[in-house]
Amino acid sequence: MIDVGMVEAAVNPSRTIRIVENSWRKHVEHLKNSIVQLPFSGEYTAIIGTNFTLVEGYAGDLVIDRVADGTTTYLLTKPLRFKDYRIYACYTKNGRFQSFVSRPVVGFHYTDLNKDGDRRLCLGAVKYIAPETIDSVREICSRIIHSQRVIYIGSLGSAFVPHGYKTLKNIIKSDYSWRDRRCKLIAEGFMKPMLETEG
């Protein structure tokens, strides 16, 4: 930083000195506002945006192969499989945890958009405290990916599926009673009751 005392003490500080000093102050202020604070130390993959940091906790396949209604679990006859699916813990620019998001957005359990434009995962029964280490992010994400293999009828959120699965999505998300939807899903060959040996 330019010494303000020297500038003020100068008998006739030149216009150039004042311009340089003002420019330097603006530059330092811009740097302060641009700094992103990483949420914790360690080795991990992160995406740093303007106002957020996404810390990768899972990268791999997403398989959705079950439907559960609270009393019975069913197997999908043609599981939904997605490659290169990633789950991230989302942190603010100053390192405060916000939510879990995924890229791409695919599945049956999403809530609203967060302020950074990512759609939050609806985690249902997955309980956690705000993760403060990469190990805790990965542990929570392993529980999330396990939970996501099941379409929970009692807690459906926004659903996003590829075109080939639109009929399945439309039946599951329809306004008919679960009894009627269940009958239709079984009759049209989308699912079957799960045997105990298949658990």
Domain boundaries, the chain: 4-34, 46-198
Q: Give me the mean pLDDT over the 176-186 stretch.
A: 91
pTM of the model: 0.77
Supply φ then ψ for residue 158, to 5 degrees. -70, 140
| Percent of the chain whose predicted confidence (pLDDT) is above 70 | 84
Per-residue model confidence as pLDDT tens digits over 31-89 = 666 666 788 888 999 998 878 899 999 999 999 999 998 889 999 999 999 999 999 99
Weakest mean pLDDT among 9-13, 78-82, 95-99: 9-13
Structure tokens at 119: 């759609």
Bigger pLDDT: 187 or 21?
A: 187
Q: How many helices (H) and strands (E) does the chain have?
A: 5, 9
pLDDT surpassing 70 at residue 1: no
* Bridge partners of residue 76, in order along the sequence: 191
